[in-house]
Amino acid sequence: MGGGVMFGIDFSKFPDVFERILLPAIGETLYMSVVSTLLAFLIGLVPAILLVLSAQDGLKPNKPLFIALDITVNTLRSFPFIILIIVLFPLTRLIVGTSIGTSAAIVPLTIGAAPFIARLIESALKEVDKGIIEAARSFGSSNFQIIFKVMFVEALPGIVASITLTLIVIIGFSAMAGAVGGGGLGSVAINYGYQRFRPDIMLYTVVILIIMVQIFQSLGNFIYKITKK
């Protein structure tokens, strides 16, 4: 077929579509994903540390605290994200002033990802060799020092991998947030690709999301190899 048309899609219009529609949406998706990942990491860090400390074989076992945190994290992780967005509308409106838009989507994205990354960080910390922890304890290190100066240093590659995985999951969540006015590539795919019957835009958003995931995964693997050394 001529004129840049293939499979019923006019690819000659891509530069214009990219500049007017896709480029702003890419910026919104990156903004939502990166900010949500950072906030989810900071929030998830607290329960992750407490779970490691209070576990039966932890530095400061506390069964009631561990059970309470374990149930809370598991409950939040089991929430379907699209339902979580709707449930958190009042909280989102309270924090941001609105329940729709790119900034508003950061609230459910963060809360949805925080328990997920908490589990990943907990697993990374638990994989640290017990011998190293006992050696640090024998030198008189406090629990705080063991957590942040020993376990975090040893678990850094695993934590980097956890952040990378969380970022990729949030990119997928951000596309889902577009269904309820969250903005970004998901919103473009729904508003233009689906509702306006534009298969070209639907295809472009899918390809761009795949490329973004590949880029972040490659970057995460690179940082992982550096920290592993």
Read off the pLDDT of residues 43-73 as tens digits, 9 standing for 90 and up: 999 999 999 999 888 888 999 999 999 999 9
Domains of the chain, each with CATH number or no CATH: 11-228 (1.10.3720.10)
Q: Give me the pLDDT at residue 5, please.
A: 54
223 or 140, higher pLDDT: 223
Dump pLDDT digits (tens) for 2-53. 455 554 566 677 788 888 889 999 999 999 999 999 999 999 999 999 999 9
pLDDT band at 144 (very low <50, low <70, confident <90, very high): confident
Planar angle of CA 49, 115, 104, nearest 5 degrees? 125
Beta bridge partners of 9: 6
Q: Give me the pLDDT at residue 184, please.
A: 85
pLDDT band at 79 (very low <50, low <70, confident <90, very high): confident
Q: Which residues are CB-neighbours of 215 under 8 A, at least 6 positions away?
A: none
Beta bridge partners of 10: 5
User: What percent of the chain is predicted at pLDDT more than 90?
Assistant: 45
Q: Give me the pLDDT at residue 178, please.
A: 75
Whole-number Å distance between alpha carbons of 205 and 199: 10
Residues 171, 35 contacting (CB under 8 angstroms): no
Hey, what are 201's tokens?
């835009």
Taking Cα atoms as reference points, which of 200, 178, 177 lies closest to residue 188? Answer: 178
> What is the average per-residue pLDDT within 128-151?
87
Q: For 25-34, 37-46, 91-100, 176-185, which range has the lowest pLDDT when averaged over its residues?
A: 176-185
> What is the average per-residue pLDDT within 95-108?
87
Q: Give me the pLDDT at residue 41, please.
A: 95
> What is the average per-residue pLDDT within 123-149?
87
Q: Give me the pLDDT at residue 38, please.
A: 96
Q: For 104-118, 142-156, 168-182, 200-214, which range has the lowest pLDDT when averaged over its residues?
A: 168-182
